[in-house]
Amino acid sequence: MTPKFLGQSSALPASPEEAELDYVPNPRLGSLYLTRFAVPEFTSLCPVTGQPDFAHLVIDYAPGETIVESKSLKLFLGAFRNHAAFHEDCTVGIGQRLAEEMKPIWLRIGGYWYPRGGIPIDVFWQTGEPPKGLWVPAQDVPGYRGRG
């Protein structure tokens, strides 16, 4: 299976719905391991004001038969730049789409959002309990503290 986007010129999709995630065979099928994507500069738009929202996302998953190809994931996440949605919708929607399409053994996403209206909103979602024996490091994204 050849990756669709890797090594190709690829435009940013107009929306997350139009973005195509690409999956390739798990190179260590049968091994229980965790893959982490840290996305410290995720952006979307507030659905009420249209102002930009910023988050640090951490996506952890234990691959099943496939892994997500990272360039396609970057394009998918980049498509949220002009997408208006609440923090909960963005965070949970990303996790659910990856879980539904990739079918990992286990997946979790942490969305650490910067304050909106003076209140930081952090959103967490996972497919269930992690499998026994899987090393799941802490996400280690500190809670928002402002200047303090």
* Residues acting as catalytic residues: 46, 53
* Chain centroid to CA 82: 16
- Taking CA atoms, 55 is separated from 27, 69, 77, in Å, by 30, 22, 11
Whether residue 68 contacts residue 100, with contact meaning beta carbons closer than 8 Å, is answered with no
How large is the angle between the packed helices 87-102 and 70-78, nearest 10 degrees? 150
* Among candidate residues 64, 77, 59, the one with its CA nearest the CA of residue 123: 59
Backbone angles phi, psi at 53, to 5 degrees: -115, 150
Tell me the three state secondary structure of residue 73. helix
